[in-house]
Amino acid sequence: MTFQQQTTRRQSLQAIAGRVVGATTVAVAPKLAAIEPFNRSGPPRLQLSLAAYSFRKFFGWMRGNVQQPAEPDRALSMSSFITLAADLGFDAAELTSYFFNPAILDEGLPALRRQAFLRGIGLSGTAVGNNFALAKAADRDREIADVKRWIDRAALLGVPHIRVFAGPVPRGLTAHEARRLCIESLEVCAAYAGTRGVMLGLENHGGLVTTADQLLEIVRAVKSEWFGVSLDTGNFHSNEIYDDLARCAPYAVNVQYKVEVHRQKGGEAEPADPHRVIALLRNAGYQGFLALEYEAAEDPYLAVPKHLQKLREALSSS
């Protein structure tokens, strides 16, 4: 794609972002092509990040509300989490939005960006617990506004990516209707994200995107170069988990690595195979962050360093 073509497409996306009725209905704009697998030049490149969700029980805040940390002597703030990720040797940290102290939004974000820079650690992304499968336009407008706020915050932090969700099938809507509303909302948000230089990634997080087919159906329909898949390696539940991941990997803009997989939702856990995950990402030509999002039972302070070592060994040998 030439620079002129890129500029024209970017202008089209900005036009979509600016021509919104009720934040969910897009007025007439030049038609864009649906997303295709990313065509990256050069060999695959993976950088290891640590998701704040791995230490979810140790933060003093959860979705804007005070929570009692599991062990007060090991409690975390977002600042001390950045320090922890750097001390453990990760390349980057994912600052999951749920755990921010509202008092530092938005004035305190530059200080976190400075801290990460001085520690030589990147900030790989954040996540917004949104729901775009809502029947009422006013409810979707609220969700879109929240995602846009976090797009602005991501730009302030220098964060390149935000994980977003589709949502469950609501009462009173068919799955087809809910997908259509979700796609419309994603296009509005992705157009705005493009004006701020932030990528959006739809996570396979259940609800409308429980299977690889469901995820790809939505992702392929969204018309934006600022959008792709945030691929969670632990959220597909089938006998062909790694095949499902491989099908979605060419669309990935971010990957969340889980140390366990479940072939049936709620079923018995089995250890994930880091060599197999890294191989399928490399086969897809993926270049980007692989964020360890630890959810297993062992104390994360003990388990995370061990799984980081396993990932580093898999990267060096795969």
Give tens-digit pLDDT for 156-200: 999 999 999 999 988 889 999 999 999 999 999 999 999 999 999
Domain ranges in the chain are 42-317
Residue 33 is predicted with a pLDDT of 65
- DSSP class of residue 70 equals S
Residue 12 is predicted with a pLDDT of 43
Residue 170 is predicted with a pLDDT of 82
What is the phi/psi pair of residue 255, to 5°? -135, 130
Spatial contact of 218 and 176, defined as CB atoms under 8 Å apart:
no
The mean pLDDT of the chain is 91
Residue 300 burial (10 A CB sphere; 0-12, 13-18, 19+): buried
Instruction: Indicate the pTM of the whole model.
Output: 0.88
Spatial contact of 59 and 69, defined as CB atoms under 8 Å apart:
yes
CATH top-level class for 42-317? Answer: alpha beta
The list of the chain residues with pLDDT below 70 reads: 1-34, 318
Instruction: Give the SS3 label for residue 40.
Output: coil
Residue 36 is predicted with a pLDDT of 87
Residue 318 is predicted with a pLDDT of 65
Residue 14 is predicted with a pLDDT of 44
Instruction: Provide the token pair at 266.
Output: 């709620």
Residue 317 burial (10 A CB sphere; 0-12, 13-18, 19+): exposed
